[in-house]
Structure 1
Amino acid sequence: MSLQDSLNSFFRILPEVTRPARKPSLSERLLWTGVILIIYFIMGQVPLYGIPRQTQGGIGALEFLRIVMASKRGTLIELGIGPIVTAGIVWELLVGSKLINLDLTTPEGRKTFAGLQKLTAFLFAAIEALAYIWGGVYGALTQQQQILVFIQLFIASTFIILMNDMLEKGWGIGSAVSLFIAAGVAQQIFWELFSPIGPLADGLYYGFFPSLVVALARGNSTLIMYAISRPAGYPDLVGFLGMIAMLLVLTYMESMKILIPVSSTRFGGVKTRIPLKFLYVSVMPVILVGALYANIAMFTQVLWPRVNPGNQNPWLNIIARYNYTEYGPVPLPGSLVYYISPPRSLASALHDPVHLVVYALLYIGLAVLFGVAWILTSGMDPETQAEQLVEAQLQIPGFRKSEKVIASMLRRYIWGLTILSSIIIGVIAVLSDLLRVMGGGTGILLLVGIIIQYYSILASERALEMYPSLARLIGE
């Protein structure tokens, strides 16, 4: 028995959701997707039992990374989709860099890859839960409390992994990763627009619209200026307009495509065109960069009070230095964690331009790296796309019906689009974070990409249900 067969046998003992015996209708899949989303929201409102109340809330200096993790502090979704995405990062880098030779063009290879990702996700769920507990995130806990919190976090992460498994195996639409991120960003935007909490230190409310109404009603020029640009970092007019601008720009760019002419040998040389999205990598590099940053921030925040108290170790200070405040740990200049956290305003960027430059270069560079890795592991590389075209009996007019020839033609476009789109989404994420866009720059980028992705999936599914002959034609 080969190693791959042994692994596949071992994967059978992992919790999993079986595929439906028949493909559910679109309405059934929408229903299951809605049920999963409701369960996620409910889990986000259930506090962890056994931890002090004061550790169930709060906003840390790196709280913005929770958007990418779709997590909520002190609740059952404390770890969010972190274990799933982190496992994806590990295996995409290992397989994409050829450190592990796994043929993803075969069903057996893809099955092994999925099994390894799931196994690693369970391992990371346990590791991250232990890191939170032993790192003192929930304060000093007794041994009984530690075991209780670990069980809650691990079981909740298992539910999230299985919900993702359920969606990806055809019970719902899309993936739990995309669904939970989009839901979390939409929830945050709604909160920033309409939250009635307050009045705060500047005399306004947390939400933008309640603050604007109060400022205009009082006719106070100082309050009106605060509503336009709030120095405390609360939602303001600049962030609101920035959000609208980013939504329009990203929606337009997501609609841009490069059309590759092909002809069908199956249907007598009928010509058509295959669209390649201008933002070819979509939002995956942003998710992966955000997940990497979130894991670095999480492990240093929870471990540093024990391994580097008082920032005494000069070598560990290179990785992270924190000033612990009532609002959470604040990264100090000169450490890696400081440079992977974005400048929170134009004023802070002007005060420390080196921070902005290093943050931007790191973010964009990693976006390109993860973009290339994602293309290699997701079957979107030129060679895999060429193989699929040949299997569908399509060819590029004027070229021989050969995988190598078609791959050479596609290579001119795909790798250029991969690098360019990775750079563009990296730049957009950096700029929108700098402008304090509502929902966060990374969050808005993810939200637009995921909504368009879901729109495309729904349009495709509706077309297949309306025209069954089309489904038979493409082998659905």
Structure 2
Amino acid sequence: MNFVKGASTVIPEVKKPIKRLSLRERFIWTAMALIIYLVMAQTPLYGVPKNIGDQFALARVIFASTQGSLVELGIGPIVTAGLIMQLLKGSGLLRLDFKRPEDRALFTSATKILTLIITLVEASAFILGGVFGPSISLNVAFIILIQLFFATLIIQLLDELVQKGWGIGSGISLFILAGVAQRIFWAMFSPLTPDGKYFGVIPFTISAAFAGNPAEALFREGRSPSLFSLALTIGIILALIYIEGMRIEIPITSARFRGFSGIYPIKLLYVSNIPVILTSALMANILFFSRLFWSRFNPGNQNPYLNWIATYGSDPTHPTGGLIYYITSPANLAGALQDPLRSLTYTIFIVTFAILFAKLWVSVGGLSPHDAAKSLIDAKVQIPGFRRSEVSIESILARYIPPLTIIGGLIIGLLASIADLLGVFGSGIGLLLMVSIIIQYYQLLVREHIEDFMPKLGSFLGRK
């Protein structure tokens, strides 16, 4: 801990504003942070060759990263460090009391230091693993490492800027939302013509209608967006909005204020998108190391035993056989129908690990019935008709939280995998993240709007 306190003095940080900014001012700061991030996403890394395969295409949407740019790592190091610190805190290995400002500051500083360490580790692994090409000199590798380190530091400061009162919500959520929205917008309106035809579904449909063949836009070959995939995307978004609103409501009353009552909501998606995020990160790492292993020991697919693990063809970013092939998505409906066994094994893999990660996160992430009961007791809240004790409240929560954890993991895994198989815009996990973030921003803006009209309500909502 002394190391963390000492190191935190040299790591740059964003100070909180002296007074609370207006909503308009915070919109401006939020937009500035987003513009800086998008500019970085279009700034190429010096020393990285063009036209190299993207080995982390599956994880790009989760980590809001762009291949070959300053945001090659995206928010990956920040998210990874946050998950690790949350796991350490939830498992009791880090004994910190978040009610104490010094402990909260220590936790934040440790997370920032861990983020920079993970950045160096991930960047080194990318370089050694050949992500930037097989033949990079030591000098160029060092330059790439420095670029990624300072780029992540800037992203960390942008996230801190948004969270500390200068902006609205979370920088991490903002960058993910922008990345997914950009993909959807590109699939709908892109004017590029890679095969002599418009890529975006809207200009392609208009072009097909003028050519007298509008039905051509209903279904398209390969991964080109179509009206069918547009309809599926809208359907998945509506289904996610509906599911996000499903919850079990447990009545509660305040032990401190007589007559005050409310509800304790337990969402159907109790652990939100965390299980699919962890599953997708696991998938990306499996693909990365299988590709690295194949390039070192079986580049020509000549070893029959190693071929059971994975085989690759002319495109080294997509497996063509082996176990790895059957846990990856065909990425569109045509591919799913062509190889139904692969579609089935991919869905089973995603759903299984989504459930496992859901149960793990509830156990160590501070979401178990015991942790939830302790939080209610600390908040001086009780359930009408039951004794105000951790044991009684925990027994009630235990009726709902464990089964909802499994059901939520199952639903989120099915939605993500099926959406990927159908070839929706932005990918299945991308839509899950986008809908969840939009709902969070909507709730946040509603609360901000209420506070603007009733400032005294801010203290009740925990604002200073």
Tell me the equivalent position of 2:175.
180
Distance, in Å, in 1 between the alignment partners of 2:415 and 2:227 is 19
Tell me the equivalent position of 1:418.
405
2:358 counterpart of 1:371:
yes
Any residues of structure 2 matched to 1:127-166 within 5 Å, and which? 127-139=121-133, 140-166=135-161
Tell me the equivalent position of 2:200.
207
**Runs of at least 5 residues in structure 2 that lack an aligned partner in the other structure:** none
Distance, in Å, in 1 between the alignment partners of 2:320 and 2:96 is 44
Any residues of structure 2 matched to 1:316-465 within 5 Å, and which? 320-325=310-315, 328-336=316-324, 338-465=325-452
Q: 1:352 deviation in Å?
A: 3.1
**Cα 1:322–1:14, aligned 2, differ >3 Å: closer, same or farther?**
farther
**Is the contact between residue 206 and residue 234 of structure 1 (CA under 8 Å) also seen in structure 2?**
yes
Q: Deviations over 1:98-127 (max 9, x none)?
A: 6x4646766576655544443332222112
**Runs of at least 5 residues in structure 1 that lack an aligned partner in the other structure:** none
Tell me the equivalent position of 1:81.
75
Tell me the equivalent position of 2:118.
124
Q: 1:15 deviation in Å?
A: 4.1
Tell me the equivalent position of 2:221.
231
**Cα 1:376–1:158, aligned 2, differ >3 Å: closer, same or farther?**
farther
Distance, in Å, in 1 between the alignment partners of 2:45 and 2:84 is 28
Tell me the equivalent position of 1:67.
61
Distance, in Å, in 2 between the alignment partners of 1:164 and 1:137 is 26
Q: 1:424 deviation in Å?
A: 0.6
Q: 1:390 deviation in Å?
A: 2.8
**Is the contact between residue 125 and residue 154 of structure 1 (CA under 8 Å) also seen in structure 2?**
yes
The number of aligned residues is: 461
Q: 1:252 deviation in Å?
A: 1.2
Range with bigger deviation, 42-51 or 283-292: 283-292
**Is the contact between residue 104 and residue 377 of structure 1 (CA under 8 Å) also seen in structure 2?**
no
**Is the contact between residue 91 and residue 365 of structure 2 (CA under 8 Å) also seen in structure 1?**
no
Tell me the equivalent position of 2:274.
284
**Is the contact between residue 90 and residue 365 of structure 2 (CA under 8 Å) also seen in structure 1?**
no
Partner secondary structure for residue 468 of structure 1: coil
Distance, in Å, in 2 between the alignment partners of 1:461 and 1:407 is 33
Distance, in Å, in 2 between the alignment partners of 1:423 and 1:113 is 32
Distance, in Å, in 1 between the alignment partners of 2:160 and 2:310 is 35
Q: 1:7 deviation in Å?
A: 4.4
Q: Deviations over 1:215-264 (max 9, x none)?
A: 111114xxx45421112221011110001101111111112232211122
2:258 counterpart of 1:260:
no
**Is the contact between residue 310 and residue 321 of structure 2 (CA under 8 Å) also seen in structure 1?**
no
Distance, in Å, in 2 between the alignment partners of 1:125 and 1:102 is 25
Tell me the equivalent position of 1:39.
36
Aligned partner letter, 2:354: A
**Cα 1:362–1:22, aligned 2, differ >3 Å: closer, same or farther?**
farther
Q: 1:453 deviation in Å?
A: 1.2
Distance, in Å, in 2 between the alignment partners of 1:87 and 1:277 is 26
**Cα 1:399–1:277, aligned 2, differ >3 Å: closer, same or farther?**
same
**Cα 1:6–1:66, aligned 2, differ >3 Å: closer, same or farther?**
closer
Aligned partner letter, 1:17: V
**Cα 1:7–1:157, aligned 2, differ >3 Å: closer, same or farther?**
closer
Range with bigger deviation, 284-293 or 43-52: 284-293
Partner secondary structure for residue 318 of structure 2: strand
Tell me the equivalent position of 1:49.
46
Range with bigger deviation, 339-348 or 298-307: 298-307
**Cα 1:210–1:77, aligned 2, differ >3 Å: closer, same or farther?**
same
Tell me the equivalent position of 2:265.
275
Distance, in Å, in 1 between the alignment partners of 2:310 and 2:453 is 56
**Is the contact between residue 92 and residue 373 of structure 1 (CA under 8 Å) also seen in structure 2?**
no
Q: Deviations over 1:277-315 (max 9, x none)?
A: 222222222222222222333444456434553345667
Q: 1:189 deviation in Å?
A: 0.5
Distance, in Å, in 2 between the alignment partners of 1:120 and 1:308 is 35
Distance, in Å, in 1 between the alignment partners of 2:300 and 2:95 is 45
- TM-score, normalization by structure 1: 0.86
Distance, in Å, in 2 between the alignment partners of 1:448 and 1:406 is 32
